[in-house]
């Protein structure tokens, strides 16, 4: 079970994954070794799944952000091949298996509309007969990491 100090540590790490344990310790009122032990426990129990770097997509020529809804009625073996393809494709940032009218919801980053068009064609090859509905983001107001954020609550 997580206590308030664990939640504070998670918030601090989420805002800056490179923050020093001693800095965290000062902010939460513990010693550096205590913070280290707590972080290690959070990693071992799977609460912290890893650390990542946020990259400027324009700097690596992946400035076009799009969302692709995939609707299909194909067989299970095609789903397995498609999901393997998705895991291996660096342009596909997120893929969610959906309930409702969509089978999958994808978040993708590509260089331009030509690259997006090629990606959609490839998706259709993996899922013959699927219907895709694509929306292109004109401006990103807020974007966060995959796990979202640890929200403040009144108990802190």
Least Cα distance to 91 among 117, 53, 52 occurs for 117
- CATH 3.30.70.920 range(s) for the chain read 57-136
Provide mean pLDDT across the span 67-71: 97
Provide mean pLDDT across the span 150-154: 50
Position 57 scores a pLDDT of 87
pLDDT per residue as tens digits for the range 12-60: 998 889 999 999 999 999 999 999 999 999 999 999 998 888 888 888 9
Range list of H helices, 20-112: 21-28, 32-44, 76-88
As a whole number of Å, the CA-based R_g of the chain is 20
- CATH 1.10.10.10 range(s) for the chain read 4-44
pLDDT per residue as tens digits for the range 106-135: 999 999 999 999 999 999 999 999 999 999
Position 156 scores a pLDDT of 40
Q: Was domain 4-44 assigned CATH 1.10.10.10?
A: yes
| CATH number, domain 57-136 | 3.30.70.920
Provide the CA 69 distance to its chain's centre, in angstroms: 17
Least Cα distance to 78 among 126, 125, 120, 131 occurs for 126
């Amino acid at each position: 079970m997580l206590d308030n100090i664990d939640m504070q540590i998670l918030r601090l790490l989420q805002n800056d994954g490179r923050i020093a344990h001693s800095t965290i310790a000062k902010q939460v009122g513990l010693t550096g070794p205590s913070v280290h032990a707590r972080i290690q426990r959070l990693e071992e129990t799977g609460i912290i799944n890893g650390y990542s770097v946020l990259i400027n997509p324009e700097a690596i020529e992946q400035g076009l952000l799009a969302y692709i809804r995939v609707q299909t009625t194909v067989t299970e073996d095609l789903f397995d091949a498609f999901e393997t393809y998705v895991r291996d494709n660096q342009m596909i940032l997120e893929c969610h298996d959906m309930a409702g009218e969509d089978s999958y919801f994808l978040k993708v980053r590509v260089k331009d509309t030509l690259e997006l068009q090629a990606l959609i064609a490839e998706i259709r090859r993996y899922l013959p007969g699927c219907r895709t509905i694509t929306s292109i983001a004109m401006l990103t107001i807020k974007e966060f990491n995959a796990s979202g954020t640890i929200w403040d609550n009144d108990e802190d």
